[in-house]
Structure 1
Amino acid sequence: MSMIKTAAELEAWCRSVDRRNKTLGFVPTMGYLHEGHCSLIKAAKSQNGLVVASVFVNPTQFAPGEDFESYPRDIGRDYKLAREAGADVVFNPEVGEIYVPGSSTVIEVTGNITKKLCGASRPTHFEGVTTIVSILFNIVRPDNAYFGQKDAQQALIIKKMVRDLHIPVEVIVCPIVREMDGLAMSSRNVYLNPEERKQATCLNVGLQKAAEYLASGAVDCRSVTRLTEIIESHIHSRDLAVIDYVKILDGETLDDITAIEPGKTALAAVAVKFGKTRLIDNRVLSI
Structure 2
Amino acid sequence: MTYVIHTRAELAALTPKPIRAVVMTMGALHDGHRQLMREARARADEVVVTIFVNPLQFGPAEDFDKYPRTLEADLEACRAEGVDVVFAPSRDEVYPGGVPSITMNAGPLGEILEGASRPGHFAGMLTVVQKLLMLTRADLAFFGEKDFQQLALIRRLAADLELGVEIVGVPTVREPDGLALSSRNRYLSPAERQSALALSRALREGATHTEAEAALTAARKILADEPGVRVDYLALTGADLGVPQPGPARLLVAARVGATRLIDNVALTLDEVA
Aligned to 2:101: 104
Aligned to 2:159: 163
Structure 1 unpaired stretches of 5+: 215-221
TM-score (norm 2): 0.95
8 Å contact from structure 2 (residues 172, 180) kept in 1 = yes
Aligned to 2:8: 7
Q: Does residue 191 of structure 2 align to residue 195 of structure 1?
A: yes
Identity of aligned residues (%): 39
> Shift of the alpha carbon at 1:109?
2.2
Q: Does residue 138 of structure 2 align to residue 142 of structure 1?
A: yes
2:115 to 119, 122, 125: 119
8 Å contact from structure 2 (residues 139, 166) kept in 1 = yes
Q: Distance in 1 between matches of 2:120 and 2:150?
A: 13
1:30-179 mapped onto 2 (5 Å cutoff): 30-102=26-98, 103-111=100-108, 113-179=109-175
- Residue 177 of structure 1 aligns to a residue whose secondary structure is coil
Q: Distance in 1 between matches of 2:176 and 2:34?
A: 16
Counterpart residue identity of residue 252, structure 2: A
Q: Distance in 2 between matches of 1:143 and 1:72?
A: 29
Q: Does residue 233 of structure 2 align to residue 233 of structure 1?
A: no
Question: Cα deviation per residue 1:24-57 (whole Å; 9 max; x = unaligned)?
Answer: 0100000000000000001101100100000000
Q: Does residue 244 of structure 2 align to residue 247 of structure 1?
A: no
> Shift of the alpha carbon at 1:256?
3.2
Q: Distance in 2 between matches of 1:143 and 1:213?
A: 38
> Shift of the alpha carbon at 1:255?
2.5
Counterpart residue identity of residue 249, structure 1: T
> Shift of the alpha carbon at 1:65?
1.1
Q: Distance in 2 between matches of 1:74 and 1:105?
A: 30
- Residue 208 of structure 2 aligns to a residue whose secondary structure is helix
Question: Cα deviation per residue 1:96-152 (whole Å; 9 max; x = unaligned)?
Answer: 1001125322111201x1111111110110001100000000100100000000000
> Shift of the alpha carbon at 1:225?
2.4
- Residue 150 of structure 1 aligns to a residue whose secondary structure is coil
- Residue 202 of structure 1 aligns to a residue whose secondary structure is helix
Question: Cα deviation per residue 1:51-93 (whole Å; 9 max; x = unaligned)?
Answer: 0000000000000010000001110000000111121011000
TM-score (norm 1): 0.91
- Residue 278 of structure 1 aligns to a residue whose secondary structure is strand
Counterpart residue identity of residue 230, structure 2: V
Counterpart residue identity of residue 268, structure 1: L
8 Å contact from structure 2 (residues 207, 251) kept in 1 = no
Aligned to 1:24: 20
- Residue 200 of structure 1 aligns to a residue whose secondary structure is helix
Q: Distance in 2 between matches of 1:108 and 1:6?
A: 27
Structure 2 unpaired stretches of 5+: none
> Shift of the alpha carbon at 1:226?
2.4
Q: Distance in 2 between matches of 1:213 and 1:130?
A: 34
- Residue 196 of structure 1 aligns to a residue whose secondary structure is helix
Counterpart residue identity of residue 51, structure 1: V
Q: Distance in 1 between matches of 2:7 and 2:105?
A: 25
> Shift of the alpha carbon at 1:210?
1.1
Q: Distance in 2 between matches of 1:79 and 1:105?
A: 32
Cα RMSD for the two superposed structures: 1.1
Q: Distance in 2 between matches of 1:142 and 1:86?
A: 17
Q: Distance in 2 between matches of 1:151 and 1:167?
A: 21
> Shift of the alpha carbon at 1:212?
1.6
- Residue 172 of structure 2 aligns to a residue whose secondary structure is coil
Q: Distance in 2 between matches of 1:107 and 1:152?
A: 18
Q: Distance in 2 between matches of 1:3 and 1:62?
A: 26
- Residue 27 of structure 1 aligns to a residue whose secondary structure is strand
Counterpart residue identity of residue 271, structure 1: A
- Residue 96 of structure 1 aligns to a residue whose secondary structure is helix
Question: Cα deviation per residue 1:204-227 (whole Å; 9 max; x = unaligned)?
Answer: 11111111233xxxxxxx1x2221
